[in-house]
């Protein structure tokens, strides 16, 4: 009876022990050598087990030695199972490294990758390889649109900024000052868009990498808002520098405070989505105060023409609309599973951010041209 049971166990274990030597794809010769050694060790264990069974069948009265051999073999079974698990893990990592991974559904994502439960399919699996993360830029998944909207936007503003900085000095009243203040806007826009597409590229790498780059992403948003204020305040209060410096200091303090808050680990969790949108929305809406100051002091007509308030209002509408869609997760909230790859709220938010930044640059360019036509002089009424 014992012999039948042991033979049955051997028949069950034998397929698990027969592993092909070329199971794991390995580019290095050292890994092939390790696999050969592992295969030889398993072959020796299998032969030992077979010889043990033959000995038991030929000498059944002395079953104590056979039982000891069998117990010794069974004691090494967890080691073989561990080696098998390691092989499967290495095979999975190699497949991910070579870009042969497949998108997965939201349900099987680890908790640190679960952000929007209305996006049901098309998610990248955890990929602990920066090379695999960057190669995923050219694959179709839930982050493809998020990456490319801000990657292309970053390249666009980088080229636009270089072109603007190399404009001839004769096009400016005060070339150094004006290029510096407009350059602050370009710097904020490029950093914001760069941090954004990098975060969406590598956030599936690991929980620690995701946490670091999410903080950079949120800091970039604050830098864009701060940089956008600098040229508008400079040109709007060109002849009255005192309120310009006061408002600039206030917006810098508020922006730094927003950056500090964004370093809180819970700030990046899905439960704080509305809080994130509210913090950056409040930072942007702080510009209402200097805008009202300018309208009251200069008059609505002058504010609409010289101050380019219309373009500023359009920029605010674009930013607010994008933030509202992001916070409410529209449209995927009403069409779960239908906007997994394209046109979900985060993609639309990215598009509105790029559009709002360009509208702001257009308004600032008009302010610069108006100041160039008027000249650098200021009347007594303007300096009051």
Are both 65 and 187 inside the same structural domain? no
Query: For position 100, what pLDDT does the model report?
Result: 77
Q: Quote the pLDDT of residue 29.
A: 44
Is 39 within 8 Å of 21 (Cβ atoms)?
Answer: yes
Q: What is the pLDDT of residue 19?
A: 39
Tell me the sheet residues that pair with 123. 104
According to the annotation, is 350 in a ligand binding site?
yes
Provide CB contacts within 8 A for 151, sequence distance 6+. Answer: 137, 193, 197
User: Is 124 a member of any domain?
Assistant: no
Query: Residue 135 domain-assigned?
Result: yes
Q: Is 62 in the same domain as 180?
A: no
Same domain? For 273 and 134 the reply is yes
Residue 117, in any domain of the structure: no
The confidence score (pLDDT) of residue 376 equals 73
Residue 94: predicted pLDDT = 57
Q: How many domains does the chain have?
A: 2
pTM: 0.74
Could you tell me if 157 and 224 lie in one domain?
yes
Do 193 and 307 lie in one domain? The reply is yes
Containing structural domain, residue 49: 2-97
Q: Is 200 annotated as a binding residue?
A: yes
- Predicted confidence at residue 262, as pLDDT, reads 94
In angstroms, the Cα distances linking 299 to 54, 166, 180, 246, 305 are: 104, 35, 28, 21, 10
Examine residue 380 and state whether it is found in any structural domain, yes or no.
Answer: no
320 in the same domain as 238: yes
In order along its 384 residues, the chain shows pLDDT tens digits of 444 444 444 443 344 434 333 443 444 444 444 455 545 555 555 555 555 555 555 554 445 555 666 666 566 677 777 777 776 666 655 555 555 799 999 999 999 999 999 999 999 999 999 999 999 999 999 999 999 999 999 999 999 999 999 999 988 999 999 999 999 999 999 999 999 999 999 999 999 999 999 999 999 999 999 999 999 999 999 988 899 999 999 999 999 999 999 999 999 999 999 999 999 999 999 999 999 999 998 888 888 888 789 999 999 999 999 999 999 999 999 999 999 999 999 999 999 999 999 999 999 999 999 889 888 777 655 555
What CATH number has the domain bearing residue 256? 1.20.1070
pLDDT of residue 25: 43
| Domain-ending residue, one of 81, 97, 113 | 97
Looking at the structure, tell me whether residues 172 and 92 fall in a common domain: no
**Same domain membership, residue 84 and residue 154:** no
Phi, psi dihedral angles at 104 (to 5 degrees):
-130, 170
Answer yes or no: is 121 a known binding residue. no
Q: How many whole angstroms separate alpha carbon 217 and alpha carbon 195?
A: 5
């Amino acid at each position: 009876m014992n012999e039948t049971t042991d033979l049955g166990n051997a028949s069950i274990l034998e397929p698990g022990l027969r592993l092909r030597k070329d199971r794991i794809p390995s580019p290095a010769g050292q890994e092939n050598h390790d696999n050969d050694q592992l295969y030889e060790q398993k072959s020796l264990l299998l032969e030992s087990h077979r010889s043990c069974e033959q000995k038991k069948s030929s000498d059944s009265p002395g079953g104590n030695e056979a039982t000891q051999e069998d117990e010794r073999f069974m004691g090494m079974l967890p080691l073989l199972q561990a080696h098998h698990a390691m092989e499967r893990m290495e095979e999975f990592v190699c497949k991910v490294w070579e870009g042969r991974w497949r998108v997965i559904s939201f349900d099987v994502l680890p908790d640190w990758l679960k952000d929007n439960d209305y996006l049901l399919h098309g998610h990248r699996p955890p990929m602990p390889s920066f090379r695999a993360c960057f190669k995923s830029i050219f694959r179709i998944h839930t982050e493809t649109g998020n990456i490319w909207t801000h990657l292309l936007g970053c390249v666009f503003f980088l080229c636009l900024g270089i072109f603007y900085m190399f404009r001839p000095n004769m096009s400016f009243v005060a070339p150094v000052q004006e290029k510096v203040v407009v350059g602050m806007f370009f710097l904020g826009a490029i950093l914001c868009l760069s941090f954004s597409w990098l975060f969406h590229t590598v956030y599936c790498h690991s929980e620690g990498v995701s946490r670091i780059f999410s903080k950079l992403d949120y800091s970039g948003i604050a830098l864009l808002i701060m940089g956008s204020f600098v040229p508008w305040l400079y040109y709007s209060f060109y002849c009255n520098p005192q309120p310009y410096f006061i408002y600039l200091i206030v917006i810098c303090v508020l922006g730094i405070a927003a950056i500090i808050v964004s370093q809180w680990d819970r700030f990046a969790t899905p439960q704080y989505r509305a809080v994130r949108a509210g913090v950056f929305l409040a930072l942007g809406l702080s510009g209402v105060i200097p805008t009202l100051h300018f309208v009251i002091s200069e008059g609505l007509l002058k504010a609409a023409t010289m101050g380019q308030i219309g373009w500023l209002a359009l920029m605010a509408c674009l930013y607010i609309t994008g933030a509202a869609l992001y916070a409410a997760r529209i449209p995927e909230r009403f069409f779960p599973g239908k906007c997994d790859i394209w046109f979900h709220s985060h993609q639309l938010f990215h598009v509105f951010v790029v559009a709002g930044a360009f509208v702001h640059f257009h308004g600032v360019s008009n302010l610069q041209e108006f100041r160039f036509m008027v000249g650098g002089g200021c009347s007594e009424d303007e300096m009051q």
